[in-house]
Amino acid sequence: MDSRVVVLVKKEVRDICRDWRLSLPALLFSLLIPSIMIVGVKLVSVFGPAQDSRLTLEAFYPISFLVVCFFPNALTVVIALENFVGEKERATLENLLLTPITDREFYLGKFISSILPPLALGFLSASIYLIQSIVFLRHTISFNLGLLILLLIFVKCIILVSGATAISSQSKTVRAANFTATVIVLPVTLLLGVESYLLMYNKIPLLWFLLLELIIYAIIFVRIGFKTFRRENMLTYDERMANLSDFLHLLKEKFLQAVSVDKERLTFKRLIIKDIPLLLWQNKLNIMIMFIFLLGGFFLGFFYSLSLASHFPEGAINLKTPAVKLLPKFTPLSIAFHNLRALLIVSIISFFTFSASAILFILIPGAMIGFLIGINPDHSIGFIFGQLKYLFPHGAFELPAAVISAAFVFKLGTIIMLEDNPQNFLGNILQALVNFLKILIIIVPLFIIAAYLEVGKL
């Protein structure tokens, strides 16, 4: 590691430790939480069923160890926000910006200094908890499971710091950064519940798979941080991105801008004739990718159903059974609203899943179609094409609408990772959102027409 990074890390860690308002409560919390969890686990094992007290202890012990390790590391968000926007608010950032250090070294130093203190407190809490559990519970955790939990905590710590760093560098005050940081903190906290569930039911292989996913997310977040962080951008702040009315006005401005480079005023006629075809051409690669996922989902569902076909007796699958409540009513507006609602939810989640939701949006319908065709014992070409006819005529409108909309949602999620212009990071995301809104002008009518054709009203 570069000596300048080491100097910056030492300076930041020293400042954190000197601030007793942050370091003292964190240290006390890290010392007390293991004892509190030991008492809790002991009470659960004592007051639980006598014959299953050992099983109860084995079920709750890994969860308590996870909680003990996680909460001290939750301080990473506070430290990361303080490292950037805190200095900006106190007007002490300019001195650091003038130091002879590159942006990459500056970001790396701040990043490491935000991770080290919470990790040290987390390992301190874990050590105290393990010692107390041996003394008072006569129980300890296996090496493999303990290592898995510590790795999960470490990777989540990286995600929290990298996310908080990106947020704080785009915020003006600590208060605004704290509110915005909930975008990162809330999903990670909810993930703690998922991990607790998997630990309780001993789904250890799924936890290793979850760890792999989190590592991928951590790499993406760190890459985003290195790619978008610029010291000079921290001194500037676009007020329009914080004020709701100004933000909506900015959104309107971008929406009324033509896609092409000419200076013609945007009209509805121009939008339909020029801009939307140009947007489709610019996103042709994403559209092709989504079409491949649609076909891939079809073949995945088809070949998977072949392995299950022998387990279903003839007549076991009845497509005329009453619909469950999750499905819409069989009316045109209900079906169209259901499809548009699903698209809206997927587009929102796409920011947090880096377009994985867009892939599932197009992959799952293809898999369902392939599964329903493949589960039938007749696999002749004539039968398959005979079943596919039920997708038409409404499928001629619905499937292209789904593929195109999924392609633009895919762009929404991937632009966070792939955007090459860090100077206008938020502006680029806003432009992708505007393009998605423009393409909805043709997507909404296609879904409505498909719904009327599906019901038989056209």
Q: Which residues contact 68 (CB under 8 A, 6 or more apart)?
A: 33, 34, 37, 125, 126, 129
pLDDT given for residue 97 in this prediction:
67
Residues 36, 183, single domain; the answer is yes
Closest CA to 402 of 327, 302, 291: 291
Q: Enter the DSSP assignment of 318.
A: -
- d(CA 229, CA 103) in angstroms, rounded, equals 7
**Residue finishing a domain among 197, 218, 235:** 235
Whether this prediction's pTM lies above 0.95 is answered by no
Q: How many domains does the chain have?
A: 2
Residues 314 and 222 in one domain: no
What is the CB-side half-sphere exposure of residue 220 using CA atoms within 13 A?
Answer: 19
Q: Which two tokens stand for residue 167?
A: 């947020």
If phi over 0 gives left and psi between -120 and 50 gives alpha, with beta otherwise, what is residue 369? alpha
The sign of the torsion formed by the CA atoms of 261, 264, 266, 268 equals negative
Give me the tens of pLDDT residue by residue for the chain, a chain 458 residues long. Answer: 678 888 888 888 888 788 777 788 888 888 888 888 888 887 877 766 555 556 667 778 888 888 888 888 777 777 777 776 766 666 666 666 677 778 788 888 888 888 888 888 888 888 998 898 888 888 888 889 889 999 998 998 888 888 777 666 666 666 767 776 777 777 888 888 889 888 888 888 999 998 998 898 888 888 877 777 776 666 665 555 556 676 777 777 777 776 665 556 667 788 888 888 888 998 899 999 999 999 999 889 888 887 775 555 555 555 555 555 556 677 888 888 888 888 888 888 887 777 788 888 888 888 888 888 877 766 666 666 666 677 778 888 888 999 999 998 888 878 766 655 555 666 777 888 888 888 999 999 999 998 888 887 66
Does 260 fall in a domain? no
In the prediction, which pLDDT does 346 show?
A: 87
Q: Spell out the alpha helix ranges (H) of 82-102.
A: 87-89, 93-97
d(CA 101, CA 5): 8
Domain region containing 214: 3-235
Contacts made by residues 381-388, CB under 8 angstroms, sequence distance 24+: none
b/e burial code for range 427-444 (CB count within 10 A of at least 16 → b)? ebebbbbbbbebbbebbb
Measure the N-to-C terminal CA separation of the chain; round to a whole number of Å: 68
Q: Please tell me whether residues 306 and 432 are part of one structural domain.
A: yes
Q: Are residues 298 and 221 in the same domain?
A: no
Q: Domain check: are 126 and 214 in the same one?
A: yes
Per the domain annotation, does 270 fall within a domain?
A: no
Same domain assignment for residues 227 and 289: no
Is the Cα torsion angle 42, 46, 48, 50 positive or negative in sign?
A: positive
Same domain? 329 vs 392: yes
Distance CA 191, CA 97 (A): 36
Q: Are 366 and 391 in contact (CB under 8 A)?
A: no
Both 327 and 408 in a single domain? yes
Joined together, the tokens standing for residue 40 give 């809790």
Same structural domain, 33 and 161: yes
CA distance linking residue 237 with residue 54, whole number of Å: 57
Tokens for 44, please give them.
């659960």
pLDDT score recorded for residue 404: 92
CA-CA-CA-CA torsion sign (377, 379, 380, 383) = positive
Same domain for 297 and 213, yes or no, is no
The span from the CA of 374 to the CA of 386, in Å, is: 13
Q: Is the N-terminal amide bond of 313 cis, ω within 30° of 0? A: no
> Is residue 291 located within the same domain as residue 435?
yes
The answer to whether 129 and 122 have CB atoms below 8 angstroms apart is no
Domain assignment present for 410: yes
Euclidean distance between CA atoms 288 and 20, whole angstroms: 56
Same domain, 418 and 289: yes
Residue 220 inside a domain? The answer is yes
Domain-terminating residue out of 198, 218, 235: 235
Residue 314: predicted pLDDT: 56
